[in-house]
């Protein structure tokens, strides 16, 4: 069996988890799910980095001892991940005694190999980075990460002979182009090595300055430098080099943000080489999440609370937006308005509408049972070929950490299925009594929807399982049993007679916080206006013939871009043609099989050459026109009043 192991950064717990932490961990979760979907044994390690100067300073600031402080903050991370749909991980803590023992064993091994020496050093120390910088590494005398003046510290410390391994590392990166990805960060790592600014690495802190850390095994007057400690978590989480899990899963992959490229691309490979351990397979580096095009910061007040976003818009929709919006490796700007637009366009209009329409038609034409797939036409086989192509592209791109591109490839198939509904017009086939062709069209649609739900399990695990259950497939978020190699090359129908859900509303349209506020204001204004309106006699209302009907066909007016031509079934009253100015708010295909309310005893009128026999009732919501519909399905022709 193939195995997959990936790690997130071991998060520094001097503050609460934020969007960057959440994104990294969601990516690890999604990649593990992708490999499990392909039949591999997979898990990931995340955790908390709990030693160092910044922890002591943060604990002192709130009046707590370091251990109590890290216990509290680490718990916030551990609690958040399940709330974001994240599973199948191990949570490691650098204050764990088992981790400390492995760190000391490996430090001793490096020391015994002659790769650690004692020396006096005077250098520029950044408390934010918790490391020394050489003159060449500073930018205009400032720390390149924090843009602050480092402190000039002179003290005796232990040093790792990192410079001994830098020529080898440079050659390794040059000859392994996929070792660090995307390419821009491979080039950046090579630039560090070629600049000549890197030297040996200080790996200790004297206890006269810092006691909160792991003791050096060869000198208890010093504690281990936080990076030498934290990086070893990727191994200690597997039980150390002698552990069974290490033999089973190492080497794995690492996932980091761009601000910690240097420790993972330079320090860590050199450490592994000195320890005589195999290097990791890939270092996957992503950019920053920005807010209002600026890096998120408490002082700027632009921090995004991932839990609040997941609660407001749903975990799966939130996850989808993050994967779809960020092109891995580049920075991305988080916007609640953009997220709402993406959710409504991709999930509500495209995928949600597909499930809603098809399951409603399956209820009407197939008694909510999967029909038998007959002989496929040329149009069917084109769609089947597109499905195979889209799925293979999705899997390949997603595995190569091109998440946005992979989802776009899958959405080509989602959009194609919606177009297939329109071109094949099951409602027309039903009217013509072409039952065999109708069954095949419905079977093709249902099979395609199942493929989409399977592919989306890594990104939207709960929604994926819900979609599969609506198709009669009972699964849970822990596992979706299938063989993706088979799925990409075979297009099987659902088992004939399999029970389907009567309807679907998996992805409702969403409103942003600003939209909700505007809506509340508009409601207040409308209520105020309503109080001023004059009343009418009940007889005037009863004179109106208002009925419920189902839209059987919708198309754009050939001579008016803003008008849709609707053919609405009113039961015993027959089908009526009604024209409505809905083109700016609805696509024609969105309206088919939707129940609406209409005024029928309105004098017919001709609009641009076509006659309208009634008026569909609408309401205005936040500057948009929305159709009035009954809460539940009712008989066509049912009266309102």
Give yes or no: 522 in active site. Answer: no
CA distance 256 to 271: 18
Give yes or no: 567 in active site. Answer: no
Give yes or no: 146 in active site. Answer: yes
Give yes or no: 513 in active site. Answer: no
CA distance 581 to 602: 16
Annotated catalytic residue within 99, 143, 264, 366: 143
CA distance 72 to 56: 14
Annotated catalytic residue within 21, 254, 264, 286: 21
Annotated catalytic residue within 51, 129, 264, 402: 129
Residue 264's nearest CA partner among 241, 248, 244, 281 is 281
Give yes or no: 455 in active site. Answer: no
Query: What distances in angstroms separate CA 320 from CA 179, 340, 454, 456, 556, one per listed residue?
Result: 27, 11, 15, 9, 32
Handedness of CA 125, 130, 133, 137 (dihedral sign): negative
Q: Which two tokens stand for residue 358?
A: 């098809």
Annotated catalytic residue within 176, 295, 513, 516: 295
Annotated catalytic residue within 61, 156, 176, 298: 298
CA distance 330 to 336: 19
Q: Determine what percent of the chain falls in helix, strand and coil, rounding each to the nearest 5.
A: 45, 20, 35
Annotated catalytic residue within 18, 109, 164, 258: 18
Residue 503's nearest CA partner among 359, 353, 368 is 359
Annotated catalytic residue within 35, 51, 124, 126: 126
Is the distance from CB of 480 to CB of 454 less than 8 angstroms? yes
Q: Which residues are bridge partners to 284 per DSSP?
A: 181, 255
Annotated catalytic residue within 146, 419, 490, 517: 146
Give yes or no: 286 in active site. Answer: no
Q: What is the DSSP letter of 263?
A: I
Beta-sheet pairing, 3-12 with 41-49? parallel
Q: Which two tokens stand for residue 261?
A: 């490229």
Give yes or no: 35 in active site. Answer: no
Give yes or no: 143 in active site. Answer: yes
**What are the strands of the beta sheet with 201-202, ordered from one edge?**
131-133, 116-126, 151-160, 201-202
Active site residues: 18, 21, 126, 129, 143, 146, 295, 298
């Amino acid at each position: 069996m193939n195995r997959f192991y990936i790690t997130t950064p071991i998060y520094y717990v001097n503050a609460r988890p934020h969007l960057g932490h959440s994104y990294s961990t969601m990516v690890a979760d999604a990649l593990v799910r992708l490999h499990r979907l392909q039949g591999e044994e997979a898990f990931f390690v995340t955790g908390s980095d709990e030693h160092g100067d910044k922890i002591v300073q943060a604990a002192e600031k709130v009046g707590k001892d370091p251990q109590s402080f890290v216990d509290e903050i680490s718990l916030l991370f551990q609690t958040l991940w399940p709330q974001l749909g994240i599973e199948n991980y191990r949570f490691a803590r650098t204050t764990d005694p088992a981790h400390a023992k492995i760190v000391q064993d490996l430090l001793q091994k490096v020391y015994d190999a002659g790769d650690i020496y004692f020396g006096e050093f005077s250098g520029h120390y950044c408390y934010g980075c918790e490391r020394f910088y050489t003159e060449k590494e500073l930018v205009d005398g400032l720390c390149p990460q924090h843009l602050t003046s480092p402190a000039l510290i002179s003290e005796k410390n232990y040093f790792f002979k990192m410079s001994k391994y830098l020529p080898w590392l440079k050659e390794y990166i040059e000859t392994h182009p996929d070792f660090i990805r995307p390419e821009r960060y491979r080039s950046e790592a090579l630039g560090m090595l070629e600049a000549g600014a890197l030297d040996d690495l200080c790996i200790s802190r004297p206890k006269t300055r810092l006691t909160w850390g792991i003791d050096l095994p060869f000198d208890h007057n010093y504690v281990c430098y936080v990076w030498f400690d934290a990086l070893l978590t990727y191994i200690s989480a597997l039980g150390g080099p002698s552990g069974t899990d290490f033999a089973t899963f190492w080497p794995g992959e690492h996932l980091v943000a761009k601000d910690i490229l240097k420790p993972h691309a330079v320090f860590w490979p050199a450490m592994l080489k000195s320890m005589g351990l195999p290097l990791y397979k890939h270092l996957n580096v992503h950019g920053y999440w920005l807010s209002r095009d600026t890096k998120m910061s408490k002082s700027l007040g632009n921090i995004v609370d991932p839990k609040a976003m997941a609660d407001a818009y749903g975990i799966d929709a939130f996850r989808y937006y993050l994967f779809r919006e960020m092109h891995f490796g580049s920075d991305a700007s988080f916007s609640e308005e953009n997220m709402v637009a993406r959710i409504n366009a991709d999930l509500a209009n495209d995928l949600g509408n597909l499930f809603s329409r098809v399951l409603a038609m399956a209820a009407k034409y197939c008694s909510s049972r999967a029909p038998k797939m007959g002989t496929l036409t040329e149009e069917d086989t084109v769609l089947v070929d597109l499905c195979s192509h889209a799925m293979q592209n999705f899997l390949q791109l997603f595995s190569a950490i091109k998440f946005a591109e992979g989802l776009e490839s899958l959405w080509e198939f989602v959009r194609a299925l919606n177009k297939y509904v329109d071109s094949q017009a099951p409602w027309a086939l039903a009217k013509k009594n072409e039952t065999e062709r109708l069954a095949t069209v419905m079977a093709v649609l249902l099979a395609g929807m199942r493929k989409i739900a399977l592919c989306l399990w890594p990104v939207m695990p709960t929604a994926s399982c819900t979609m599969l259950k609506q198709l009669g497939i009972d699964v849970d978020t822990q596992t979706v049993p299938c063989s993706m190699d088979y799925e990409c090359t075979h297009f099987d129908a659902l088992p004939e007679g399999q029970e389907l859900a009567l309807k679907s509303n998996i992805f409702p349209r969403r409103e942003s916080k600003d939209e909700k506020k505007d809506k509340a204001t508009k409601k207040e204004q409308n209520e105020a206006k309503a109080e001023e309106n004059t009343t009418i006699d009940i007889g005037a209302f009863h004179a109106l013939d208002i009925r419920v009907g189902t839209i059987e066909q919708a198309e754009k007016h050939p001579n008016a871009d803003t008008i849709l031509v609707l053919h609405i079934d009113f039961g015993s009253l027959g089908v009526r043609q009604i024209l409505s100015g809905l083109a700016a708010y609805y696509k024609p295909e969105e309206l088919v099989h939707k129940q609406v309310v209409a005024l029928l005893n309105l004098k017919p009128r001709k609009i641009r050459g076509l006659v309208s026999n009634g008026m569909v009732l609408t309401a205005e919501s936040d500057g948009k026109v929305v159709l009035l519909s009954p809460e539940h399905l009712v008989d066509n022709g049912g009266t309102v009043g």
